Amino acid sequence: MQPNNPFANKQLRSLYDPTAEKWWFSAVDICAILTDSNYETGRKYWKKIKFDLSTKQNQVVTKSNQLKMPAQDGKYYFTEVLDTKEVIYLIQIIPSPKAEPFRLWLADMVANSTIAEKLLIEAGETCAKQIAEDYMKDPQKLAARHVITKRRLV
């Protein structure tokens, strides 16, 4: 599930980790949005911020993670990502008129997505339990399903 990006002309790559209940956002994309620039300029801006923060031994840089995210060419590459707390810190250090609208969108998206993700997970678990109960009540359904699955694999 990708969050709805209010900055429609800009790409914002993100991933949700349901086990940790965390969103991860591309640091480069955030820099590009806040500086109102293209990907290359955002990448250079992130590189400069990262260097400045690493000289101060800031934890945002020392703790930064990399995840594979899709690029414009459709391939997946390792990209530096930040969680929501780190994104808020990044928003605070980048002077931009888009910082406040971005922060408000982020807070709304994270608050709503956590609830939505929990509801989806619970609905999925309920559905899986119901299917398992149905198959246990009627073993012929399970056997028929096994035959159908075997046909698809062959």
Question: Domain map of the chain by residue range?
Answer: 14-153
- How far from 57 is each of 45, 52, 54, CA to CA, in Å? 18, 9, 5
Stretch 15-43: mean pLDDT: 87
Q: What is the pLDDT of residues 84-97, one digit of tens each?
A: 888 888 888 888 88
Determine which helix (DSSP H) or strand (DSSP E) holds 99, and give its type and residue range: helix 99-137
Stretch 57-81: mean pLDDT: 81
> Which pTM does this prediction carry?
0.67
